[in-house]
Structure 1
Amino acid sequence: MDTPHQFDLTGIEPTTEDLKLPPLKIGDMVIDPPILQAPMAGFTNYAFRQIVRGYGGAGLLATEMVNARGFHWLDEHEAEFPDRLWGVEDEARPLAVQIWDNQPEVMAKVGRRLVEEFKVSVVDINFGCPVKQVTEKAHSGSYLLRVPERMGQIISKLVEACAPTPVTAKIRLGCSMDSINANDIAQVVEQSGAAALTVHGRVAAQFFKGEADWERISEIKSHLKKIPLIGNGDLDSAEKVYRAFRNFDVDGVMIARACLGRPWLFAQAAAAIAGKPIPPEPTLVEQRDCMLKHYDLVVQRFGESKGTLLMRKFACCYAQGKSGARHFRKHVANVATPQEFYEVVEKHFPIETPAPA
């Protein structure tokens, strides 16, 4: 197995040079800064996106991925829209909605509805999800990397249905290490009319293990004639974002899991690539207050009971990497009411940096 290119930050001082990056254009839309928030199922809902917007730095935000067939069924039966579209109609723009399925006609109908009724800025297609429920059961997500012609059909139908709203695609390098085909897939994506391509630098079989291969992401650029390439994978610091732009042939980057407990990461990354001082991490008290604001937004939408249950995983993200995080996670994983949540946060959320040994 090839060894993926690692991020070596030795000698890099990202605050000393404005990279003077050319504008990232998706269709006629300029994404500034060229830093995108990844769509993540179960996490990037309206509440999270509002927290990110509060800090700034993300040029394009995205919803959780939406099951196109499920959306279509709800629409036909005049049921409520999926929770994953919570807030989309009234939210600030630009905003991307990511959808997935393997049926071109269904995808096209849903895409058109998103454009006409929800006025979304971008319709993104998920060709990268490695989860078995999506791949093996639904033959969608990264499974479709095995069937480039079907990918082309889906993209073409969506481009036609959504025009003039741009359609983009997100892929992985391939299904497995012995079937890496991202260079060929990139050409299919472009020739089918997509306005941009995002590549996660792992194969589907890796899920999120190992390290993203930015060399292979960068190689894809030479196989594209006009649409931008957006790199994704392991961007967990402003320094790594800076290095991705400086050392690899990408037009934009997408930040994923690292931002879940650090929504201020986008602002830090935007400062780095502009040659400005990187804002410091918020204090632990400020981070706790950010989490509580996030909790309030979730409860407003889903009610106290469901909102508290949903917030457990977010609370764990906010504590990640801090002294005492395991202790906090143990307690917050069992909360069921607002009173219990606030008590656990008050008693166990780490708000003091331990003194040096």
Structure 2
Amino acid sequence: MTILATAPPSLQIGRIPLAVPVVLAPMAGITNTAFRRLCREFGAGLYVSEMITSRALVERTEGSMRLIKHHESETTRSIQLYGVDPKTVAEAVTMLVAEDRADHIDLNFGCPVPKVTRKGGGAALPWKLDLFRDIVARAVKAAGDLPLTVKMRKGIDSDHLTYLEAGRIAEDAGVASIALHARTASEFYSGHADWAAIATLKQVVTSVPVLGNGDIWSGEDAIRMVEETGCDGVVVGRGCLGRPWLFGDLAAAFEGKTDIAQPSLGTVAATLRRHTELLVEFFDGDEDRACRDIRKHVAWYFKGYPVGGDLRASLATVQSLQQMDDLLGTLDGEQPYPGEAAEGPRGRAGTPKRPSLPDGWLLSRELADAHRAELAEAELSNSGG
């Protein structure tokens, strides 16, 4: 790993100072309060909520109100909003500010999920420059002194890139920072992120921080991205799945240290147990719901470790903390860190595919009346992208 020759770079997002230039990427069904708290126990950074639909928040649905809750230990409350209607997005931002429910708001323009892009939302939306400009401008105005940021993708596909125009528009609108996932919607999470695009955006956007997202699996990757692109910080998504200690590695890397966490199997099991406990608290004591939620994390936690298929299957259907304790108790906690087998890519990458878009979406960069009705159906709760 390259050792930083100078002090670690700090990051200022509006009025929020970050000693370590690291942001947890919003991930639907993952970055709830429980996971954010767990990650913060390992390292510093800005920990963003999972994506929350603006319409649902304005309507105060039970699910959206739960998702905007923060634990008292979360001293910087960061919420990501997704929306397609400028008025609704502004109303959601106004609500968060007026009721003092956030210290930072991020807008999602990166979701590649077909049922969102098919309606013109997510990564498809910045193609319509007037709509993108209106949403961001109204949200910034509604946020007032609260830092409002944007996260986006390169564009729809290699022939329909949007990130440079969107970056200029967002900067001119007054956002506090811009994060770029260096893939197009058509790439989903496949292949390798195009870090060169991050460098290009950094050259275009000069007055606010530019953050890079994509293929950060280690502290070494984060340092390399900063050195190669000149970006002001990194956004980490899939790399921390089942590895909350990655945030400790990232903090160490930005301090010029080469140390990395090498948890034994016992430490991994204890972290899984801790994660589940935090989920029980998040779900207001509902142990059954917490156990159902933790199941998707099991394979990520034990990636590369000598845990048999039967035990993995049992943990992936666990129904109570006691059952989890009984299963984890059968592990040999002294088993050492397996090295590379536990590192690297995790999570679903998907395969490149032609993006699903509204009919005629690509014919103009301006929003047509015919597409407004489809956009109204695009506000679904899906991955942040």
CA RMSD, Structure 1 to Structure 2 (Å): 2.2
Local SS of the residue matching 1:347: coil
Counterpart in 1 of 2:131? Answer: 150
- Equivalents in 1 of 2:175, 2:314: separation in Å? 46
C-alpha deviation, 1:218, in angstroms: 1.0
Tell me, yes or no, if structure 1 residue 344 matches structure 2 residue 327.
yes
Which structure 2 segments of 5+ residues have no match? 340-385
Which structure 1 segments of 5+ residues have no match? 1-12
C-alpha deviation, 1:29, in angstroms: 2.1
Q: State how 1:217-296 maps to structure 2 within 5 Å.
A: 217-296=198-277
Counterpart in 2 of 1:7? Answer: none
Tell me, yes or no, if structure 1 residue 316 matches structure 2 residue 299.
yes
Counterpart in 2 of 1:176? Answer: 157
Seen in structure 2, the aligned counterparts of structure 1 residues 290 and 355 have a Cα distance that, compared at 3 Å, is closer
- Equivalents in 1 of 2:316, 2:300: separation in Å? 12
Q: State how 1:1-357 maps to structure 2 within 5 Å.
A: 13-14=1-2, 16-57=3-44, 59-74=45-60, 81-87=64-70, 90-137=72-119, 139-302=120-283, 303-324=286-307, 326-347=309-330, 352-353=335-336
- Equivalents in 2 of 1:197, 1:259: separation in Å? 21
C-alpha deviation, 1:145, in angstroms: 2.3
Equivalent position amino acid for 1:38 in 2: A
Equivalent position amino acid for 2:187 in 1: Q
Seen in structure 2, the aligned counterparts of structure 1 residues 135 and 351 have a Cα distance that, compared at 3 Å, is farther
Higher mean C-alpha deviation, range 101-110 or range 267-276: 267-276
Equivalent position amino acid for 1:51 in 2: L
Counterpart in 2 of 1:8? Answer: none
C-alpha deviation, 1:354, in angstroms: 9.0
Percentage of matched positions with identical amino acids = 30
The Cα offsets for residues 11-48 of structure 1, whole Å up to 9 and x where unpaired, read as xx33x334435432211222221111111110001111
- Equivalents in 1 of 2:63, 2:117: separation in Å? 26
Seen in structure 2, the aligned counterparts of structure 1 residues 52 and 124 have a Cα distance that, compared at 3 Å, is same
Local SS of the residue matching 1:316: helix
Higher mean C-alpha deviation, range 19-28 or range 270-279: 19-28
Local SS of the residue matching 1:174: strand
Seen in structure 2, the aligned counterparts of structure 1 residues 53 and 86 have a Cα distance that, compared at 3 Å, is same
- Equivalents in 2 of 1:94, 1:355: separation in Å? 35
C-alpha deviation, 1:243, in angstroms: 0.9
Local SS of the residue matching 1:201: strand
Seen in structure 2, the aligned counterparts of structure 1 residues 271 and 354 have a Cα distance that, compared at 3 Å, is closer
C-alpha deviation, 1:351, in angstroms: 5.7
Seen in structure 2, the aligned counterparts of structure 1 residues 80 and 324 have a Cα distance that, compared at 3 Å, is closer
Seen in structure 2, the aligned counterparts of structure 1 residues 335 and 163 have a Cα distance that, compared at 3 Å, is same
Equivalent position amino acid for 2:106 in 1: D
- Equivalents in 1 of 2:293, 2:321: separation in Å? 12
Higher mean C-alpha deviation, range 284-293 or range 128-137: 128-137
Higher mean C-alpha deviation, range 252-261 or range 312-321: 312-321
C-alpha deviation, 1:324, in angstroms: 3.0
Contact 2:23/2:46 (<8 A) preserved = yes
C-alpha deviation, 1:187, in angstroms: 0.6
C-alpha deviation, 1:265, in angstroms: 0.8
C-alpha deviation, 1:328, in angstroms: 4.2
C-alpha deviation, 1:110, in angstroms: 0.8
Contact 1:319/1:328 (<8 A) preserved = no
Contact 1:153/1:192 (<8 A) preserved = no
- Equivalents in 2 of 1:354, 1:257: separation in Å? 20
C-alpha deviation, 1:165, in angstroms: 0.2
Higher mean C-alpha deviation, range 342-351 or range 267-276: 342-351
Q: How many residues align?
A: 337
C-alpha deviation, 1:201, in angstroms: 0.9
Seen in structure 2, the aligned counterparts of structure 1 residues 21 and 297 have a Cα distance that, compared at 3 Å, is closer
**TM (normalized to structure 1)?**
0.88
Seen in structure 2, the aligned counterparts of structure 1 residues 115 and 278 have a Cα distance that, compared at 3 Å, is farther
Seen in structure 2, the aligned counterparts of structure 1 residues 179 and 21 have a Cα distance that, compared at 3 Å, is farther
Stretches of 4+ moved more than 6 A in 1? none
The Cα offsets for residues 57-94 of structure 1, whole Å up to 9 and x where unpaired, read as 3x21100000111111126xxx5753322325x34222
Counterpart in 2 of 1:4? Answer: none
**TM (normalized to structure 2)?**
0.82
